[in-house]
Structure 1
Amino acid sequence: MTNTFRAALYIDGEWREGGDGGTFAVVDPADGSTIADFPIATSADCLAAVEAAAAAQEGWAATPPRVRSELLRAAYDLLTEEVELFAEIMVRENGKSWSDAMGEANYAKEFFRWFAEEAVRIPGDYRLSPAGDKRIVVDRQPIGVSLLITPWNFPAAMATRKLAPALAAGCAVILKPARETPLTAAYMVEVLERVGVPRGVVGLVTPVPTGPLVAEMLAHPAVRKLSFTGSTEVGRELLHACADTVVSASMELGGNAPVIVLPGADLDTTVPEALLAKMRNGGSACTAANRFYVHSSLHEEFVRRMAEALSSVSVGSGLDRLNQLGALVSVRERDKVAALVDSAVSEGATVVTGGHSSETGAFYDATLLTGVRHGSEINATEIFGPVTAVVAYDEVDDAIRMANDTEFGLMAYVFGEEREAMAVARRLESGMVAVNRGVVSDPAAPFGGVKQSGLGREGASEGILEFLEEKYIALTA
């Protein structure tokens, strides 16, 4: 295993390993050891990154789409060659299992391949006006310098899902990763440097304190785009900051994904797919199944099968590739999950299996709760951990009402006979719905939510449009 990782800011084509801001520790949550000391970006560092991106913007926007495409494809190829290193970095700083890290590494690199192809297919329009007096030309041009803010739970995929379309569109970028997982970000930026992305086009900063320095960057006149993945609470604050200079904002925010198991569901399909929906990334996903609404006719058998599956999950360090469930990103996050379980029990829920924290490391057992009440704390909160909380229901209309009873609308799951499941899916207030399957994410699909789960879409052909602006040019007919 690798013992050292690059821990440095990247500004104007140069790696900066230290400065006036000091450092913060990057911790392996499996054992609490410090694996790197990462430099803190000061106000001067952040503004230098913005200035470098601003200086590079015009040249990068003028770069032929095919050149941008080939650079992104080269990044995909390099990440493919080094996919185990890519996964190992995530295991070390994030704590996830080896299988989850490899799954993310392979998913993340696909965004470079997908947007390498989209870079050469940016659409426009040319048509005669209805009055016949002019030709209407609609061009799409890079929006400009873009600030990309990513979370700790998917440190690779959330970054490439922003980096790839922004670079494909012709935007210079500054990446601000979560403080828990900066090493993955530094590795990806290094890959872009190695394949030849020009100086200043990509920057990497880790400011502390985060809020005021991000606000400073957003206030800079060169910054025209914010793409943020994180909590709804922080997203609201960032939208306020964007308002002052009318910065375009894309937001992928929190979720509270319901799972509706209909009376006609086939449990041979439902249980394994529900496990994927719940346990992918140890439950630390905005798309993770969070609230299980199971019809009373299937409740007992569903609980029995889920308990059997969850009780067999092996828990431990992701460096042991046989472990199925790794650590949460920190002891603090582990304790949040434990507190939610304790709260549910105090409100009348029953722990069927699991329910224990580790004595060392940030591990929490795969857990199943029954007797959960709709509207209880665990039902209304994004758990972000390996806890399955089941609510029994009798009427499908009640299940739909409970599923929609939230400010969030990112992801939902429906299991049942396909025709009925599709009818239910159309009634759910969610940007994405999985029918009889546990995973929907795909670079070719538009990812995003409704209500307070976000603005805009990532991935697919829509993803690149978030980093482009339309310009109308009128010509004499």
Structure 2
Amino acid sequence: MVVNVKTTPTLETTRVAPSQAAAVACDAPSQLFIGGQWVAAKGGRTFDVIDPSTADAIATVCDADIPDAMAAVEAAEKAAAAWKATPPRRRSDVLMKCFHLLLEQAEWLARLITVENGKALADARSEVAYAAEFFRWYAEEAVRSPGEFGPAPSGANQIIVSHEPIGIAVLVTPWNFPAAMATRKIAPALAAGCTCILKPAAETPLTALAIGELMRQAGVPAGVVNIVTTKRAGPVVSAMLHDKRVRKLSFTGSTGVGRILLREAADQVVSCSMELGGNAPFIVFDDADLETAVAGAMVAKMRNGGEACTAANRFYIQKRILADFTRRFAEEMAALKVGPGLAADKQLGPLITEAAVAKVDRLVEDAVAKGARLVTGGSRLSGEGFFYLPTVLANVSADAEILREEIFGPVAPIIAFDTEDEVVELANDTEYGLVSYVFSRDLKRALAVAGRLESGMVGINRGVVSDAAAPFGGMKQSGLGREGSHHGMLEYLETKYIAAAW
């Protein structure tokens, strides 16, 4: 029997003044970045950027339409030949300059992320460091484009294999990591010698625009990186994908939208890299170190407030330690300080929108209606903003929607299991296959289970797997291709084979 951990659904914080958030936002660019210039949208339209902590508008940015997107493609085409011909060392130097400039502006960027995304400032600072690392990593990879040379088995000729830039790339990024998802795509594209158009999420355009300005200052040539902010993502991205000059799409977002974009890309046979949804299982065997497992659970669940595709979505705990783990985990969750991200003492900020809160609340209510026991949390916070209490659910039924959908919020459903075979079957019972987490002192068993899990990444005794030097991506309907490591640059390269006789 697990004792409930009581929480009070109130916002224990002094409101961060709208002027404070707006002051941070006002230093970011607000126009489109096309051909190395800041320009207004051709139709003159704009849209507001909302602070999720208050629901107040803190900035206004340009709302691009198809003519703006075509102007960005044109700019990328004009810059393509020269950037392709730029020596790898020069591309490397530019990316390293981007790395240093990003770190110089790290605190301001972290605050900018916080005011438009809502995440706690500590989370935002971690994201900026992670985002900068992609510039450094691909500055190093830019000079290491692979190649092969050797005789054909017949002896009739030599086999030469080289790699060249795939061409103009359209990069579509989500709102949950507005800096890191931008640099994770831009950096390998530039390292490979491609030009690109970035279409950031409408919820968080300011961070992308700020990074664009830093890249301009770092010496990225005009037209190599273009940034188009828009509330008309569907038609704008579709128009670019149907332009024969565009040869690459890299998308991070939901599986549903990914399916639509794959259909769109098929018309021009555009190469696609897709980092899609997740439904990560978090497995704790009864021989695990409980302190390590609970700490890992807090990171895997609550990094970015649970709004991450890598977030632990289903907690499978072996029965012998179920009560102890649930109690410790619930206590840690209940102790989190919730409030506006700019407030230095807060550990959990708001969700991104009112719709996100409604979805999380619906999933929790469905689970409780089907027999789940609320251990802690379970409601939104009173007052302004889009806040939801850190929540732990026990005894979650197999038919609960929360086990099928990506939660994208601070809610942890717990399910008991008996055997290794049982938990592997449960973990794999999903269309997704992005990441899994396994906790056990028995490394042989943990590695064996990792090998049986249908996911592109597995964390063993740790709650975070993301690293610029590691291949990030999933199996099944969690995506196609990889980002990060040397694999990430290969996504922007075409393989060319030459049969040479002399």
TM range (shorter): over 0.9
Which residue does 2:12 correspond to in 1?
Answer: none
Deviating more after overlay: 36-45 vs 19-28: 19-28
Which residue does 1:288 correspond to in 2?
Answer: 311
Which residue does 1:380 correspond to in 2?
Answer: 404
Once residues 227 and 196 of structure 2 are traced to their aligned partners in structure 1, the CA distance between those partners, rounded to angstroms, is 9
Once residues 305 and 173 of structure 1 are traced to their aligned partners in structure 2, the CA distance between those partners, rounded to angstroms, is 47
Once residues 375 and 401 of structure 1 are traced to their aligned partners in structure 2, the CA distance between those partners, rounded to angstroms, is 15
Question: Residue 211 of structure 1 is aligned with which of 218, 223, 234?
Answer: 234
Q: State yes or no: 1:95 paired with 2:118.
A: yes
Instruction: Give the secondary-structure state (helix, strand or coil) at the position aligned to 1:24.
Output: strand
Question: Residue 426 of structure 1 is aligned with which of 442, 451, 469?
Answer: 451
The CA deviation at 1:17 is 3.5
Please give the residue correspondences for 1:186-205 in structure 2 after superposition, counting only pairs within 5 Å. Answer: 186-205=209-228
Once residues 317 and 445 of structure 1 are traced to their aligned partners in structure 2, the CA distance between those partners, rounded to angstroms, is 32
Task: Give unmatched runs, 5+ long, in structure 1.
Answer: none
Q: State yes or no: 1:256 paired with 2:279.
A: yes
Instruction: Give the secondary-structure state (helix, strand or coil) at the position aligned to 2:143.
Output: helix
Cα pair 2:42 2:67 within 8 Å, conserved: no
One-letter code of the match for 1:218? L
Which residue does 1:400 correspond to in 2?
Answer: 424
Cα pair 2:252 2:274 within 8 Å, conserved: yes
Please give the residue correspondences for 1:245-394 in structure 2 after superposition, counting only pairs within 5 Å. Answer: 245-359=268-382, 360-394=384-418
Question: Residue 139 of structure 1 is aligned with which of 162, 167, 170?
Answer: 162
Task: Give unmatched runs, 5+ long, in structure 2.
Answer: 1-19
* Percent identity of equivalent pairs: 54
Deviating more after overlay: 249-258 vs 366-375: 366-375
Q: For 1:112-161, what per-residue CA distance to the aligned partner results, in whole angstroms no more than 9, with x for missing partners?
A: 00000000011111111111111111110000000000000111111110
Deviating more after overlay: 169-178 vs 416-425: 416-425
Q: For 1:165-224, what per-residue CA distance to the aligned partner results, in whole angstroms no more than 9, with x for missing partners?
A: 000000000000000000000001111111111111111112342212211100101100
Q: For 1:11-62, what per-residue CA distance to the aligned partner results, in whole angstroms no more than 9, with x for missing partners?
A: 1111124441511110000011111111110111000100110111111000
Q: Number of matched residues?
A: 477
Which residue does 1:173 correspond to in 2?
Answer: 196
Instruction: Give the secondary-structure state (helix, strand or coil) at the position aligned to 1:363.
Output: coil
Once residues 222 and 208 of structure 1 are traced to their aligned partners in structure 2, the CA distance between those partners, rounded to angstroms, is 24
Once residues 178 and 238 of structure 2 are traced to their aligned partners in structure 1, the CA distance between those partners, rounded to angstroms, is 22
Question: Residue 445 of structure 1 is aligned with which of 441, 454, 470?
Answer: 470
Please give the residue correspondences for 1:70-81 in structure 2 after superposition, counting only pairs within 5 Å. Answer: 70-81=93-104
- Tell me the TM-score normalized by structure 1: 0.99
Once residues 367 and 415 of structure 2 are traced to their aligned partners in structure 1, the CA distance between those partners, rounded to angstroms, is 12
One-letter code of the match for 2:90? V
Deviating more after overlay: 414-423 vs 428-437: 414-423
One-letter code of the match for 2:150? R
Cα pair 1:374 1:402 within 8 Å, conserved: no
Q: For 1:235-291, what per-residue CA distance to the aligned partner results, in whole angstroms no more than 9, with x for missing partners?
A: 001000111110000000000000111121110211111111111000000000000
Once residues 187 and 417 of structure 2 are traced to their aligned partners in structure 1, the CA distance between those partners, rounded to angstroms, is 43
Q: State yes or no: 1:469 paired with 2:486.
A: no
One-letter code of the match for 1:284? E
Question: Residue 461 of structure 2 is aligned with which of 436, 449, 454?
Answer: 436
Cα pair 1:232 1:254 within 8 Å, conserved: yes
Which residue does 2:9 correspond to in 1?
Answer: none
Cα pair 1:19 1:39 within 8 Å, conserved: no
Once residues 398 and 429 of structure 1 are traced to their aligned partners in structure 2, the CA distance between those partners, rounded to angstroms, is 14
Cα pair 1:46 1:207 within 8 Å, conserved: no
Query: Superposition RMSD on alpha carbons, in Å?
Result: 1.0
